[in-house]
Amino acid sequence: MAVLKVLVVDDEPGIRSGVTRILKSFQVNYPFMDEDYSYEVLEAATGEDGIAITEREKPDIILLDNKLPGMQGIEVLEYIRNRNSDTVVAMITSYASLDVAVKAHKFGATDFIPKPFTPQELKSSIENITKQQYLKRITHKMNEEGRKIRYQFLSVLSHELKAPLNAVEGYLRMMQEKQSGDLIEDYTIPIERSLQRIQGMRNLIMDLLDFTKIRLERKDEKIEEVHLSSIASNAIVTVQPYAIQMEVSVLQIIKSDAVLMADPTDLEIIFNNLVSNSVKYNKPGGKAEIIIDEDEKDVIVSFTDTGIGIKEADRENLFSEFVRIKNEKTRNITGSGLGLSIVKKVVELYNGTITVDSVPDIGTTFTVRLPKKVKITS
């Protein structure tokens, strides 16, 4: 339950007590809101007291009479707006001349409540203002989150791309200056290393794009019936060239022809990341398996490999953003540190879970459980 502070500034005690009484047990809730809203009422009899309380309590809503002893309501409103306050102000007055209305609108008053007002009129106004406040908070939160993610995106991108770009540039200059000879065969190793660096940069950019898509918006979401065996087959085809290079066999074991209502792109992110990892962190001659099964409530997909494994101490932060396990065995393996955090976020969007079991030098199994009846969260 969220509580909004409402400050009523009026020299009539009956108006102040009436607002307090009406809003004391009043609540606002709409399906699009993530929580109910109730109200705490503060009272001020003068404009000066209203400003003092506003400075101290930072109310969310002010119900402001214009005709006040001393400082007038319009002056209070002007003062609040000059302070760049996010407080929503509604004027309550029986002297609402056209001139007052124009000035009030100019200084940002969102509503006029005529005196005397009925409980329903007050509730209706407060309800509308609450919706405005909610939408303003959500917009602000999204903007802040967007700025944070964009900064993080650019920081990681510039940092992670700097080293491989310098390496590729060095190899190209070596070839341009013919430092190792005149034949293309003389540069086989630099070319291979350049291609590896370029592939690493490509993977980083794709991971970052997936990351920002999951974090920032899901407007293009397309929910449809998806056969997990099809998603698994596509993931295997995608990783196959790398698997051949790594001498790793990738198998699909279908224990159940599981079907989910989901966005295929989301499932591709899960499968592509986990299958890629099962090859990337494997050993020459190793094996990776995708096992698809289901029980009464969930679809269960296991991604098993015979690779280098993960130490228990490294599993704690395994799904954190921009975290990579660094040791002697992973030193030459490229990655963004985003893949598993992206997978976890997608799984949680479908109210699912992901767990990991691993034994160093034996192998690792990631198990994803997705409810058959999915309520997608955002």
Residue 292 and residue 159 share a domain:
no
> Which pLDDT does position 207 carry in this prediction?
65
Question: Which residue from 349, 375, 335 is spatially nearest to 213, judged by alpha carbons?
Answer: 349
Residue 77 and residue 151 share a domain:
no
> Is position 125 within any domain?
no
> Which pLDDT does position 219 carry in this prediction?
45
Residue 209 and residue 95 share a domain:
no
CA distance 106 to 228: 58
> Which pLDDT does position 279 carry in this prediction?
92
Residue 99 identity (one-letter amino acid):
D
Residue 71 backbone phi and psi in degrees, to 5: -65, 130
CATH number of the domain within which 207 lies = 1.10.287
* Domain housing 98: 2-117
Residue 296 and residue 183 share a domain:
no
Pair type for strands 287-294 and 298-305: antiparallel
Q: Which residues pair with 225 in a beta bridge?
A: 261
Residue 200 and residue 98 share a domain:
no
Domain count, the chain: 3
> Is position 363 within any domain?
yes
Q: pLDDT by residue for the chain (378 residues), tens digit each?
A: 789 999 999 999 999 999 999 999 898 876 656 678 899 999 999 999 999 999 999 999 999 998 899 898 889 898 888 886 778 888 887 755 566 767 777 777 878 888 888 898 899 889 888 887 776 776 666 556 556 656 655 665 665 566 677 778 888 888 888 888 888 888 888 888 888 778 767 766 776 666 656 554 554 567 788 999 999 999 999 889 889 988 999 999 999 989 988 888 889 889 988 999 999 899 999 999 999 999 988 999 999 999 999 988 888 788 876 666 665 666 566 655 677 888 998 898 888 999 999 999 999 999 999 998 755 555
Residue 343 and residue 259 share a domain:
yes
Residue 180 and residue 324 share a domain:
no
> Is position 124 within any domain?
no
Residue 168 and residue 101 share a domain:
no
> Which pLDDT does position 62 carry in this prediction?
92
> Is position 128 within any domain?
no
Residue 230 and residue 203 share a domain:
no
Residue 17 and residue 94 share a domain:
yes
Neighbouring residues of 126: CB distance < 8 A, sequence distance ≥ 6: 6, 23, 26, 28, 39, 61
Which pTM was predicted? 0.50
CATH number of the domain within which 83 lies = 3.40.50.2300
